Structure 1
Amino acid sequence: MERPVQLFGLWALLHCLGGDAEHPKSHPPVTNLRVSVEHLCTVTWKWNPPEGVSPNCSLQYISHVNNKDKIITSETSRSEEVPLNEKICLQVGSQCDTNESENASILEEKCILPPKGDPESSVTNMQCIWHNLNYVKCTWLPGRNTSPDTNYTFYYWYSSLEEILQCKNLFREDNYIGCSFNLTKQKDDNIYKYNVQIMVNDSEEKSLPFFHIVHLASHVKPDPPRIKKLSFNNSTLDVQWETPPKFVKKCLEYEVEVSNSHTKETQRFPVKDAKCQNSEFEEENLEDINCLNVPAVLPESLNTVRIRAKANTYCYGDDKIWSNWSQAMSIGKKAKTSLYIIMLLIIPVIVAAAIIVLLLYLKRLKIIIFPPIPDPGKIFKEMFGDQNDDTLHWKKYDIYEKQMKEETDEVVLIENLKRASQ
């Protein structure tokens, strides 16, 4: 039994050696992988080719950033614009063709760590909008573990700048803090294709810095359109407006709002293609003029029109930010308000006069409206009580007069007697 076991071991060894011959060893990894940060949020990885590579090998490199965004290239570097608020790692390996073959090298990894600090001290709710292709306005909320009166510094950079700039136009809006800055014109006039790198920190550098990247094409807000003319064509309302400055006509969409004073209804009409087809405008320059025909409009009532605009995905990366509403313009017959104005003037006068009359004749009106009820007891008292009083008065007078007469008579009699005796 020992010989078959030895033969089986020898066969297995030969089979393993044969298998290694069919499957070559993996490709050697890249060397000297390193990482650096440029500007505010540009991370660059560089590496050297692997050692001991066959001259017949067409070196290719496969790389991943945080295990995603895989690319295959012959370059020995890779740059990415990423916010540095989290750990960023790149894995890179080498191989001899553009397909991921079985002999690809192991992946080398190099990471860059975020700044140290309290995450609750970093700013939140960062929002940036590119207003009318003119200036960028960013707003944010202070960190939860920071004082509301914290002083912040705002730095920004984009491809046409030679150095990082500090934003000076800081402002406060309610609980938000913000800063706005203008954009210098690109040489190729395609600034909307680039990103703006942002870093916000407090002036004393006690809070955790916050990094942000704004893709300009996804944060465009046009100025409100300007209504040029309103006119009626039978029961159709023709609306004309101008394209906001700095925008190409095909790059915007609109929404037209029509409010009717008679029906009290408001209708909104989305407009993607605002071409003017009315013959009366053929001689005018229609390059920046937009038109819409609104059907079933009552000319006998007052119609008020407003318009707003937004960038479309044909030219930009987002179509969710509407402009403010344009200044309203009205057309149609106004309701006759002269009678209402007269009534509004007369009614207060009448009310005031009525109040004065009521104040002057309130007592008389009270007597007329609520006459007094006679008191039977008082009537009987007047009938009988006064007579008893008069009778008693006369009785008292007779008794007094009688007493006075008697007393006088007695005095006279005594005096006469005295004279007679003498």
Structure 2
Amino acid sequence: MELPARLCALWALLLSAGGGGDAAPAEIQPPVTNLSVSVENLCTVIWTWNPPEGASPNCSLWYFSHFGNKQDKEIAPETRRSKEVPLNERICLQVGSQCSANESDNPSVLVEKCISPPEGDPESAVTELQCVWHNLSYMKCTWLPGKNTSPDTNYTLYYWHSSLGKIRQCENIYRESQHITCSFILTTKIKDPSFDQDNVQVMVKDNAGKIRPSFHIVPLTSHVQPDPPHIKRLFFQHGDLYVVGKNPQPFSSACLSYQVKVNNSQTETRFSLTVDESICNHSEFEGNPEDGTICFRIPGVLHDTLNTVRMRVKTNKICYADDKLWSNWSPAMTIGKKTNPTLYIIMLLIIPIIVAGAIIVLLLYLKRLKIIIFPPIPDPGKIFKEMFGDQNDDTLHWKKYDIYEKQTKEETDSVVLIENLKRTSQ
């Protein structure tokens, strides 16, 4: 209370000092008093203040306010201002008073009030906190653990939306690879006039209070991912392929963009068509655009081959703030003539046999061709060895044999002669 009193005395002094001039000085109002700040829900910051003391009775007070970065300027007669903002950083609001809504008027001295970030090590807070609203029915939030955290940290996610009435806790927390995920049901009335102003406030912390809480604001007009559409039937007419499908509920055709992909099994070509609305005349097929039925005409598709068709959708900027999240592809549907599988089986059996036979013939031909082009060179040493070396060895062998045989015969004969002589003498 001391600061406003001093400022009021200063204004009075300035006004009295300038009273002697010829022209009346611009009337400057004293600053606001009792500026305070509080937090509601998870991320709703509220500033309140009282009118300045000693304000001129002839002045219709207006209040000029902006944040510390001089963004989001606002001039209003209310003594209150609120803002949904993630509380991950320091946030300051500056407020001044003036006598009109004209921004060119000099406001009073600005009074500032800040709210500090949550306590804890900033490195312990979770990172990459993102939330996606799946088919306007449930929200899925994912994040990565902070740097200075234990692997066994138990995380808790709290969320709030105006349709819920109070802060709620997400019960379905699980891990997907390195990310931690939590999903919760969130359905709102799309036709609500305040729908485009509603956000989902999210806070992630641990049960033990050892990590720094992390806050996130999710606008419901962004980060919306529809379910895949449904292909009802395919048919050819006048040489064109018609694809009849149905939008995912509760989306309308005006809020979606479409992509149709056709794969041809024979030519292995892929055709992709991206459009913002149904391009068929509804008189050409059985369907009603009011029940979400859509139709696409795709020219240049071969009808005598097998074609596989898939579809996917995403939100557009007519109804939503972004158009980046495609749905998954719809289940594939085929149309056209199927190729006989027996022919493929026969080809799979015959082709390897033909290739193997060709390789064998080629190897034999190359070996024979190599012999013709590069005939073997005879070894002169081997020829001379056969002519001379082997014959000498055989000659010596036979000579040794003859000498041994002769010697054996002579000795035998001599023994016989001696025995005969002894018998005769007796």
Both proteins in one fold, TM over 0.5: yes
Please say which of residues 188-197 and 290-299 is displaced more in the overlay: 188-197
Establish whether residue 224 from structure 1 lines up as the match of residue 236 from structure 2.
Answer: no
Residues 187-226 of structure 1 correspond to what in structure 2 (within 5 A)? 193-226=197-230
Letter in 2 for 1:158: H
- SS at structure 2 position matched to 1:254: strand
Paired position in structure 2 for 1:82: 85
Partner Cα distance (1:303, 1:126) in 2 = 41
Matched-pair identity in %: 53
Partner Cα distance (1:241, 1:330) in 2 = 14
Letter in 2 for 1:247: F
Measured after TM superposition, the shift of residue 102 of structure 1 is 3.4
Paired position in structure 2 for 1:51: 53
Paired position in structure 2 for 1:117: 120
Maintained 8 Å contact 2:287/2:293: no
Distance 1:282 1:330, change over 3 A: closer
Maintained 8 Å contact 1:222/1:311: yes
Partner Cα distance (2:208, 2:29) in 1 = 50
Letter in 2 for 1:79: S
Distance 1:89 1:40, change over 3 A: same
Structure 2: any 5+ residue segments left out of the alignment?
A: 1-16, 361-366
Question: What value does the CA root-mean-square deviation take over the aligned residues?
Answer: 3.6
> 1:244 pairs with 248, 252, 266, which one?
248
Which whole-Å deviations, capped at 9, do the CAs of 1:84-125 have from their partners, x for residues lacking one?
A: 111111112222322235353222221111123322222111
Letter in 2 for 1:99: N
Measured after TM superposition, the shift of residue 298 of structure 1 is 2.2
Maintained 8 Å contact 1:36/1:43: yes
Measured after TM superposition, the shift of residue 405 of structure 1 is 2.4
Residues 8-407 of structure 1 correspond to what in structure 2 (within 5 A)? 17-19=19-21, 22-66=24-68, 67-100=70-103, 102=105, 104-186=107-189, 193-282=197-286, 287-335=291-339, 337-346=341-350, 393=401, 396-407=404-415
Measured after TM superposition, the shift of residue 181 of structure 1 is 1.0
Which whole-Å deviations, capped at 9, do the CAs of 1:259-312 have from their partners, x for residues lacking one?
A: 334443323221111154153424667631111111222223333322211111
Measured after TM superposition, the shift of residue 78 of structure 1 is 1.0
Alignment length, in residue pairs?
Answer: 396
Partner Cα distance (2:246, 2:346) in 1 = 41
Partner Cα distance (1:70, 1:294) in 2 = 51
Letter in 1 for 2:418: E
Distance 1:388 1:278, change over 3 A: farther
Measured after TM superposition, the shift of residue 163 of structure 1 is 2.4
Measured after TM superposition, the shift of residue 132 of structure 1 is 0.8
Letter in 2 for 1:45: W
Maintained 8 Å contact 2:198/2:219: yes
Maintained 8 Å contact 1:60/1:97: yes
Which whole-Å deviations, capped at 9, do the CAs of 1:337-366 have from their partners, x for residues lacking one?
A: 5333113134557899999x9xxxxxxx99
Maintained 8 Å contact 2:161/2:198: yes
- TM-score under structure 1 length normalisation: 0.81
Structure 1: any 5+ residue segments left out of the alignment?
A: 1-14, 358-364
Partner Cα distance (2:340, 2:144) in 1 = 52
Which whole-Å deviations, capped at 9, do the CAs of 1:115-150 have from their partners, x for residues lacking one?
A: 233222221111110011111111112212223443
Partner Cα distance (2:344, 2:190) in 1 = 63
Measured after TM superposition, the shift of residue 407 of structure 1 is 0.8
Which whole-Å deviations, capped at 9, do the CAs of 1:203-250 have from their partners, x for residues lacking one?
A: 222222211111121110011112222222233111122101221221
- SS at structure 2 position matched to 1:324: coil
Rg (Cα) greater in structure: 1
